């Protein structure tokens, strides 16, 4: 039975749908058993440490800024006061090594729940 995250991803146009699926799989592979939920209307992970949002021509993978240094923040493409993100245009544009490194960095630096120990 599909859940809300499946519904969100499945309603996206291509290539955002496939990109969301691949990013979701990468997050779950990096942090087996990570908490997934709908938050802010998009799939979120580890109580909001990470999120995926499909936009018109790409997908953003968002990261909490909690605990990040100014140097750490330069590793991301953009973001706001509480979150940073990277833009992913397609499955082919997924830099798995970079994304795993960013996921683990944010997990290590973020306050609160530790979902994975480096």
| Domain annotation for the chain: domains and CATH numbers | 4-109 (3.90.1150.200)
Model confidence, pTM? 0.90
Q: What is the pLDDT of residues 67-100, one digit of tens each?
A: 998 999 999 987 678 899 999 999 999 999 999 9
Pairing status of strand 50-54 against strand 83-88: unpaired
Residues 42 and 8 sit within 8 Å (Cβ to Cβ)? yes
51-64 burial, b at 16+ Cβ within 10 Å, e below that, comes to bbbbeeebbbbbbb
pLDDT above 50: residue 1: no
pLDDT digits (tens, 9 = 90+) for 9-48: 999 999 999 999 999 999 999 999 999 999 999 999 999 9
- For residue 44, the cross-strand partners are 37, 51
């Amino acid at each position: 039975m599909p859940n809300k995250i499946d519904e969100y991803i499945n309603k996206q146009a291509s290539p955002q749908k496939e990109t969301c699926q691949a990013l979701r799989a990468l997050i779950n592979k990096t942090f087996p058993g990570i908490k997934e939920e709908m938050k802010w209307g998009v799939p979120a992970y580890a109580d909001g440490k990470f999120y995926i949002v499909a936009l018109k021509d790409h997908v953003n993978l968002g990261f909490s800024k909690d605990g990040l240094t100014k140097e750490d923040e330069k590793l991301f493409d953009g973001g706001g006061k509480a979150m940073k993100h990277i833009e992913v245009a397609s499955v082919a544009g997924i830099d798995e090594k970079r994304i795993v490194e960013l996921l683990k960095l944010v997990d290590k630096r973020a306050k609160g729940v530790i979902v994975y120990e480096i």
